[in-house]
Amino acid sequence: MRLPHNRVSLAATPICVRIRGTHRVGNAVIMAALEAKQALLDLAARRPEREAAVCRELTKMHEEVLRASLHTLAQVEREWLGEIVIVLGEAAPRPLPGSSDDDLRQRARGLVSGGASVRAVADHLAEISGRSRREVYALVLEVKAQASSEDESE
């Protein structure tokens, strides 16, 4: 099942993704708490460097809040039980349409080093810069190749 956050621009701020346990079925669109892991993976694929908090059982005796980057939170090995709220930190400033190659390369370096795929980075940067996906994809591939060659030389 695709999560509703996939229809939301991650450039907007603030964003809150609410995931409820299956025992609380109501009129709202809800997902089982087991979907929290998939939600984190989906969000991390798009914006691994973005800060977030996973809040569990807010206002209850077993309240818990984990804060880290989406990439780090997606790597946490655990079963999320109960009512879960994922709160995303403020979005990074968007480059202006027609951003320079150097600006896009710099942003791509951060995203690629954070674990994002070339395709996800290219899609994201093309969307926020207004440039063609093909053009941005080539820049991201160049950044990825450069990062790989630097890793091999170390």
| Ramachandran angles phi, psi of 106, nearest 5° | -60, -45
Per-residue pLDDT of 40-95, as tens digits, reads 888 888 888 888 888 888 888 888 999 999 999 989 888 777 788 888 887 776 65
CA 106, 108, 110, 113: dihedral to nearest 10 degrees? -130
Per domain, the residue ranges of the chain are: 4-88, 101-153
Banded model confidence at residue 31, pLDDT cuts 50, 70, 90: very low
Mean pLDDT for 7-24 is 49
The CATH number of the domain covering residues in 4-88: 3.30.1490
